[in-house]
């Protein structure tokens, strides 16, 4: 019984290792793709997160900070760099004067759309690994 338990634990560790490897490979792909498009990975993520909320095509600085899991002052500086690069534009909120909306400009939209297309296959591959890592054996998943 103890041998079987160790075998199951080993399979879980193998699945976890594979997941971490695939996740890091995805992140590396994403970093390289962003760089090839002339933006940093954080600029790409900021552009992506401006489109993250249903019913609108902008996000507040604080929403972007939450999505990036970053400090507000760092995101403010990132928004400034993106604005200087012509990717986004800040607008004061019409509903809450304390909030600043970040809107994607046409140059940013084109870069984001290209990068999103490039990520589609990679996301599919990562999703498969997530499903496998979550299966009881770490190997086969019923479809």
At 48-82, the pLDDT tens digits run 999 999 999 999 999 999 999 999 999 999 999 99
Give the residues of the chain that fall short of pLDDT 50.
140-143
pLDDT at 124: 84
pTM, two decimal places: 0.83
pLDDT at 1: 65
Burial (CB count within 10 angstroms: exposed 0-12, middle 13-18, buried 19+), residue 43: buried
Report the CATH number of the 2-134 domain.
1.10.10.10
For 73-111, b where at least 16 C-beta lie within 10 A, e where not — what string? eebeebbeebeebebbeeeeeeeeeeebbbebbeebbeb
User: Domain segments of the chain: what residues?
Assistant: 2-134
């Amino acid at each position: 019984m103890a041998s079987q338990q160790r075998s199951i634990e080993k399979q879980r560790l193998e699945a976890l290792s594979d997941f971490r490897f695939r996740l890091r490979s995805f992140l590396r792909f994403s970093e390289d793709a962003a760089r090839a498009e002339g933006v940093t990975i954080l600029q790409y993520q900021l552009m992506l997160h401006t489109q993250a909320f249903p019913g609108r095509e902008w996000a507040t600085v604080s929403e972007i900070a939450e999505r990036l899991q970053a400090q507000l002052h760092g995101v403010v500086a990132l928004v400034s760099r993106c604005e200087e690069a012509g990717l986004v534009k800040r607008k004061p909120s019409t509903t809450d004067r304390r909030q600043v909306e970040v809107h994607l400009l046409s140059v940013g939209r084109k870069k984001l759309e290209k990068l999103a297309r490039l990520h589609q296959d990679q996301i599919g591959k990562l999703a498969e690994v997530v499903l496998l890592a979550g299966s009881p054996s770490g190997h086969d998943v019923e479809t």
